[in-house]
């Protein structure tokens, strides 16, 4: 693999009056009595391309930028943001944040303290990617998506093709009253192709989507680096034809081999969100929800079998949550969440670390835009592959007499304590006597988090480990979205409840 080019932060972002904005905002905050203040200049560039049946439906560029000031005065947060990037507005926004802090201070009964963090002054980080999507002519991008669409439309049984790619470049400048100043640039892409076959006579239809996950990569991801598009697109029509002809699943407890392209989402919902400390102590109770994994069970909760070891990180190359420093100015780290099946940690930011008794934040603060306040958001939360044996997915399948191999994510839903979940997938391959013998359809699997992970018998080795992920993890009010990746190997789980979602379910 070619090692990624190290890019510089774009000159037009560096040309923004970062130091002047920081000086103006932090000075005004200090004068107003803030014990801590930070300024963030946050710019998001995105390009959305979407084709239907080979014709462009959306070709849209979007840029947003603004400055955000957060102050902590007498243990009470205040936040304000504005679109104007002038020192005068920065100072006025800091004063507004102080006002906001004071407005409802009477309702505050718990004062915030921040965990200490070393000062990181004048530092810069750029995510690893080869080709800046904004350096590629839009004609070439549309050309590639058109070529793939028309190729698939020509295949037997394919009636419709939807092809899209969202590309994002996120740039932040962060400066706080302790002296940390960070400048960062991240690039990510989310390509997607879905084919549909329609039964005009019978009135039904079926779809199949590519498995390529969104990734912290550049345009090279569309042309072969990190994903073999040609191979995947070539097999898509036949797989769809097989899916349409497949028999409906027989419901009941079923042994499952789950591919990383499906399992990442289960990890996201049932472990990633459940080990967010703010959720676990009720900060999301009225909206995103709480967690069954409460802090009183830290070190004792049996989350799953001994095979289950899960880490959080903001460092994995191409991870969607990977950064140099978080939006609290904390350096990116790796940490344990579940070790040998037992809950051992939480994701925190600087305000929650002291409440958990930690001396330092593990770096999980993120705000999705200038208009939104940073909060604890998800790190890349990943399941460890078998460290001793590089077991293949085929070897896991070989251990199943009668079961299903599930590939690709589709529908997902989990309750507000992250306990009862139900997932579907793109493809369900029937396993008989350790071999794949064709697809079945109408499959959903439903379980309780600890039962599910308790039934984890084995995981694949390092060679099966893949990063999955999403651009649109939602949390908080007002709503924020965050990009996040989850690495995992293939996995074998015994006797998971499978539902038949077909007609008459």
Q: Considering only residues 432-471, where is the footprint of another protein by CB under 8 A?
A: 442, 444, 446, 448
Residue of 32, 66, 345, 408 interacting with another protein (CB under 8 A): 66
DSSP letter for each residue of 97-146: HHHHHHHTGGG--S-----------SEEEE---SS-GGGS-HHHHHHHHH
Residue of 13, 264, 277, 292 interacting with another protein (CB under 8 A): 292
Phi (first) and psi of residue 389, to 5 degrees: -125, 130
Which one of 1-9, 169-177, 234-242, 288-296 is the stretch in contact with another protein (CB under 8 A)?
288-296
Helix axes 138-153, 229-245, angle to 10 degrees: 30
Give me the least distance between CB of 392 and another protein, in Å please: 31
Q: Does 106 bind another protein (CB under 8 A)?
A: yes
Rounded-to-integer distance, Cα 407 and Cα 331, Å: 35
Rounded-to-integer distance, Cα 129 and Cα 7, Å: 8
Q: Does 252 bind another protein (CB under 8 A)?
A: no
Kindly tell me which of 183 and 376 has the beta carbon lying closer to another protein.
376
Residue of 153, 422, 436, 454 interacting with another protein (CB under 8 A): 422
Residue of 5, 19, 20, 60 interacting with another protein (CB under 8 A): 60
Phi (first) and psi of residue 147, to 5 degrees: -60, -45
Q: Does 282 bind another protein (CB under 8 A)?
A: yes
Give me the least distance between CB of 192 and another protein, in Å please: 15
Alpha-carbon dihedral sign for residues 242, 246, 249, 255: negative
Alpha-carbon dihedral sign for residues 352, 356, 360, 363: negative
Q: Are 405 and 429 in contact (CB under 8 A)?
A: yes
Q: Which of residues 123-182 bind another protein (CB under 8 A)?
A: 138-139, 142, 159-160
Q: Are 224 and 464 in contact (CB under 8 A)?
A: no
Q: Does 200 bind another protein (CB under 8 A)?
A: yes
Q: Write each residue from 20 to 59 as x if it is in contact with another protein (CB under 8 A), else as -, in one continuous string.
A: ----------------------------x---x--xxxxx
Nearest-CA neighbor of 323 among 190, 186, 480, 474? 186
Rounded-to-integer distance, Cα 320 and Cα 147, Å: 28
Q: Does 94 bind another protein (CB under 8 A)?
A: no
Q: How many residues does the chain have?
A: 505
Q: Which residues contact 245 (CB under 8 A, 6 or more apart)?
A: none
Give me the least distance between CB of 384 and another protein, in Å please: 27
Q: Does 254 bind another protein (CB under 8 A)?
A: no
Give me the least distance between CB of 57 and another protein, in Å please: 5
Q: Which of residues 365-384 bind another protein (CB under 8 A)?
A: 370-373, 375
Kindly tell me which of 61 and 402 has the beta carbon lying closer to another protein.
61
Give me the least distance between CB of 465 and another protein, in Å please: 27
Strands 252-258 and 402-414: parallel
Which one of 123-131, 184-192, 312-320, 416-424 is the stretch in contact with another protein (CB under 8 A)?
416-424
């Amino acid at each position: 693999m070619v090692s990624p080019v190290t890019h510089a932060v774009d000159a037009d972002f560096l040309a923004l009056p970062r130091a002047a904005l920081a000086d103006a905002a932090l000075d005004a905050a200090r004068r107003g009595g803030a014990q801590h203040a930070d300024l963030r200049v946050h710019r998001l560039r995105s390009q959305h391309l979407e084709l239907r049946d080979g014709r462009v439906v959306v070709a849209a560029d979007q840029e947003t930028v603004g400055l955000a000031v957060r102050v902590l005065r007498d243990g009470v947060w205040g936040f304000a943001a504005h679109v104007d990037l002038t020192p005068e507005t920065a100072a006025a926004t800091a004063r507004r944040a102080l006002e906001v802090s004071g407005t409802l201070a009477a309702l505050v009964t718990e004062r915030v303290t921040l965990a200490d963090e070393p000062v990181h002054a004048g530092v810069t980080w750029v995510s690893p990617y080869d080709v800046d999507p904004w350096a590629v002519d839009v004609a070439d991008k549309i050309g590639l998506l058109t070529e793939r669409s028309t190729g698939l439309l020509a295949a037997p049984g394919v009636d419709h093709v939807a092809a899209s790619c969202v590309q994002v470049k996120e740039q932040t400048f962060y400066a706080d009253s302790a002296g940390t100043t960070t400048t960062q640039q991240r690039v990510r892409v989310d390509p997607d192709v879905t084919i549909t076959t329609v039964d005009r006579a019978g009135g039904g239809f079926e779809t199949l989507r590519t498995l390529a996950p969104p990734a912290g990569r550049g345009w090279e991801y569309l042309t072969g680096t990190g994903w073999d598009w040609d191979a995947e697109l070539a097999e898509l029509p036949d797989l769809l034809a097989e899916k349409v002809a497949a028999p409906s699943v027989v419901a009941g407890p079923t042994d499952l081999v789950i591919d990383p392209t499906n399992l990442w989402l289960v990890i996201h919902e049932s472990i990633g969100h459940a080990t967010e400390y703010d959720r676990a102590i009720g900060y999301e109770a009225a909206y995103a929800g709480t967690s069954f994994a409460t802090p009183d069970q830290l070190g004792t909760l049996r989350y799953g079998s001994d095979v289950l070891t899960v880490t959080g990180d903001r460092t994995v190359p191409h991870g969607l949550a990977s950064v140099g420093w978080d939006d609290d100015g904390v350096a990116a780290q790796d940490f344990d969440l579940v070790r040998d099946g037992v809950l051992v940690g939480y994701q925190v930011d600087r305000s929650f670390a002291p409440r958990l008794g930690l001396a330092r934040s593990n770096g999980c603060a993120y705000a999705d835009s200038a208009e939104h306040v940073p909060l604890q958001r998800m790190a890349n939360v990943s399941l460890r592959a078998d460290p001793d044996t590089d077991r293949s997915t085929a070897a896991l399948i070989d251990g199943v007499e009668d079961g299903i191999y599930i590939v690709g994510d589709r529908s997902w839903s989990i309750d507000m304590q992250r306990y009862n979940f139900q997932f579907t997938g793109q493809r369900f391959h029937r396993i008989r006597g350790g071999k794949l013998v064709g697809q079945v359809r109408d499959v959903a699997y439903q379980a309780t988090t600890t039962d599910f992970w308790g039934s984890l018998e084995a995981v694949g080795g390092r060679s099966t480990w893949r990063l999955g992920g999403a651009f649109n993890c939602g949390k908080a009010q007002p709503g924020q979205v965050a990009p996040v990746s989850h690495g995992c190997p293939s996995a074998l789980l015994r006797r998971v409840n499978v539902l038949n979602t077909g007609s008459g379910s």
